């Protein structure tokens, strides 16, 4: 692997590094506060590696939720990932065994960066994903260690996750000229939250967003 | 193996499957135009959904009427539009939020 690829991947992921480390620290501190072992935090960050789901997992694991409800929750929160792969199928086809890690590395942040990169530079695509996960794991370890020494009230620290989503949303918004999908997403999710409530909103919003985008495409095609 | 480890394992497998599905379906054949269109538009709508989802339990009808979330969220967006520094946007807004709900509201 060439040195300039490593350098480029580091430069591209540098802004994520700060955000990820901060959010992962918040996650690990929450885990510790709920009496969950740092080993679990580490396992989640290595093998699940999905920010929103890991924050949801803090609640699930500490409240002793059943495996089935954890499974359904995971599916609901992470089903959006299905759409992330769609624009990365071409580079995936040319990968060998590393493609199995490439799949695992596709977090919201990684995907956001990959969107704007040259899809033929496969080592770069892989390294961006790997670096991001390493930051995430590093933050988890720092948070687990730091929580031993925290002497202040950490209530509200989970806002870090919300802030991360807002930041990605702003970045995505600025990266394209066409804002219809983003506006559609906001409006339909708000409607679904009000109409279907907190538990059903993810799946209902996804169905409506999908249907609306397909309808929009058809309309544009006709005109 | 304790129940928590099993639960984490289940979460890991399902998360991986959600990431792998499009590759396993279209990885070995040409990707239809309609799927490519979705690949280009859906992620933006999904991130919007995630933002709404993140704030889903905010109540605007009971005190403090979502004000801490509104203030900290707005601060996060404004800081990010201005400085484009993730640590600054996330760090400052989180600390502001913690201060707001612990001290003010």
- Cβ contacts of A97 within 8 Å, gap of 6 or more: none
Instruction: Give tens-digit pLDDT for B47-80.
Output: 898 899 889 888 888 888 999 999 999 999 999 9
pLDDT at A222 over 60: no
Kindly give the residue spans of alpha helices, DSSP state H, lying in chain B.
3-26, 33-54, 67-83, 86-99
Of A176-185, A198-207, B74-83, least confident by mean pLDDT is: A198-207
Confidence check: pLDDT of A10 > 90: yes
Please give the model's pTM, rounded to 2 decimal places: 0.85
Model pLDDT for residues A148-176, shown as the tens digit of each residue: 887 778 889 889 889 988 998 998 898 88
Which runs of consecutive H residues, i.e. helices, occur in B31-66? 33-54
| Residues in chain B closer than 8 A to A161 (CB atoms) | 54
User: Is the C-alpha dihedral spanning A79, A85, A87, A89 positive or negative?
Assistant: negative
Contacts of B60 (CB under 8 A, 6+ apart): B66
Size of interface A-B (CB pairs under 8 A): 266
Instruction: Name the percent of chain B lying above pLDDT 70.
Output: 99
| DSSP category for residue A156 | T
Give per-residue pLDDT as tens, B12-37: 999 999 999 999 988 877 778 888 78
Q: Are the Cβ atoms of A159 and B49 closer than 8 angstroms?
A: no
Q: Mark which of B12, B32, B54 sits at the end of a domain.
A: B54
What ipTM does this complex have? 0.89
**Mean pLDDT (chain A, rounded):** 90
Rounded percentage of chain A residues whose pLDDT exceeds 70: 99
Closest CA to A52 of A27, A70, A32: A27
Asked if residue B39 and residue B1 are part of one domain, the reply reads: yes
The encoded tokens of residue B21 equal 């599905």
Nearest-CA neighbor of A43 among A140, A127, A146, A131?
A: A140
Residues of B in contact with A119 (CB under 8 A): none
Cα–Cα distances in Å, from A75 out to A81, B13, B17?
Answer: 10, 10, 9
* Confidence (pLDDT) at B1: 63
Asked if residue B101 and residue B83 are part of one domain, the reply reads: yes
| One domain for residues B83 and B61 | yes
Verify that B19 and B33 share a domain, yes or no.
yes
Domain boundary among B54, B70, B93: B54
Are B18 and B43 in a shared domain? Answer: yes
**Sorting pLDDT into bands at 50, 70 and 90, what band is A1?**
low
Q: Give which of A13, A9, A58, A50 is closest to A32, Cα–Cα.
A: A58
Whether residue B39 is found in the same domain as residue B67: no
B2 with B45, same domain: the answer is: yes
B49, B66: one domain: no
Question: At A37, is the secondary structure helix, strand, or coil?
Answer: coil
Under 8 Å between Cβ of B11 and A57: yes
- Are B15 and B2 within one domain? yes
Give me the pLDDT at residue A152, please.
Answer: 79
> Is pLDDT of B101 > 90?
yes
| Structural domain ending residue among the three candidates B54, B75, B97 | B54
Q: What is the DSSP string of A40-88?
A: HHHHIIIII--HHHHHHHHHHHHTT--HHHHHHHHHHHHTTHHHHGGGG
DSSP state of B61: S
pLDDT, greater one: A192 or A206: A192
A221: nearest CA partner in chain B = B34
Q: Are B54 and A52 a contacting pair at CB < 8 A? A: yes
Q: What average pLDDT does range A182-210 have in this prediction?
A: 91
Nearest to A78 among B15, B28, B84 (CB): B15
B61 and B48 housed in the same domain: no
Query: Is there a single domain that holds both residue B46 and residue B79?
Result: no
Give yes or no: residues B62 and B39 share one domain.
Answer: no
What is the domain range of residue B41?
A: 1-54
- Please answer whether residues A19 and B86 qualify as being in contact, where contact means their C-beta atoms are separated by less than 8 angstroms: yes
A220 contacts in chain B (CB < 8 Å): none
Q: How many domains does chain B have?
A: 2
| B92 closest CA partner among B77, B70, B104 | B77
- At residue A223, the pLDDT reads 46
Tell me the per-residue pLDDT of A77-106, one tens digit each, with 9 for 90 and over. 788 788 788 888 888 989 999 999 999 999
Give per-residue pLDDT as tens, A18-66.
Answer: 889 999 999 999 999 889 999 999 999 999 999 888 988 998 898 888 8
How far apart, in whole angstroms, are the C-alpha atoms of residue A135 and residue A9? 13
Domain residues of chain A, as ranges?
Answer: 3-175, 176-223
CA distances, B9 to each of A57, A100, A140, B19, B99 (Å):
12, 17, 18, 15, 36
The dihedral sign for the CA sequence A157, B67, B43, B85: negative
């Amino acid at each position: 692997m060439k040195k300039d690829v490593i350098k480029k991947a580091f430069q591209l992921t540098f802004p994520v590094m700060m955000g990820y480390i901060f959010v992962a620290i918040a996650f690990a501190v929450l885990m510790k506060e709920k009496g969950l072992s740092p080993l679990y935090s580490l396992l989640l960050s290595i093998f699940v590696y999905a920010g929103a789901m890991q924050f949801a997992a803090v609640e699930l694991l500490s409240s002793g939720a059943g495996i089935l409800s954890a499974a359904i929750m995971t599916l609901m929160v992470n089903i959006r990932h299905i759409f992330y792969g769609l624009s990365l199928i071409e580079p995936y086809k040319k990968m060998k065994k590393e493609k199995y890690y490439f799949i695992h590395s596709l977090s919201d942040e990684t995907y956001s960066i990959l969107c704007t990169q040259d899809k033929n530079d496969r080592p770069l695509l892989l390294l961006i994903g790997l670096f991001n996960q390493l930051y995430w794991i590093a933050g988890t370890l720092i948070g687990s260690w730091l929580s031993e020494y925290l002497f202040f009230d950490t209530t509200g620290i989970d806002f870090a996750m919300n802030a991360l989503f807002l930041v990605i949303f702003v970045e995505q918004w600025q990266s394209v000229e066409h804002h219809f999908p983003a506006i559609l997403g906001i409006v339909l999710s708000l409607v679904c939250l009000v109409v279907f409530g907190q538990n059903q909103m993810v799946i209902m919003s996804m169905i409506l967003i999908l249907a609306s985008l397909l309808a929009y495409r058809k309309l544009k095609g006709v005109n | 193996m304790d129940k928590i480890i099993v639960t984490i394992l289940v979460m890991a497998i399902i998360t991986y499957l959600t990431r792998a599905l499009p590759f396993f379906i279209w990885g070995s054949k040409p990707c239809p135009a309609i799927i490519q269109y979705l690949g280009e538009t859906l992620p933006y709508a999904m991130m919007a959904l995630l933002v709404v989802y993140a704030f889903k339990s905010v109540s605007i009808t009971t005190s403090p009427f979502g004000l801490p979330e509104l203030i900290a969220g707005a601060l996060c967006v404004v800081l990010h539009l201005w400085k484009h520094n993730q640590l600054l946007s996330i760090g400052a807004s989180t600390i502001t939020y913690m201060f707001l709900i612990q001290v003010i509201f």
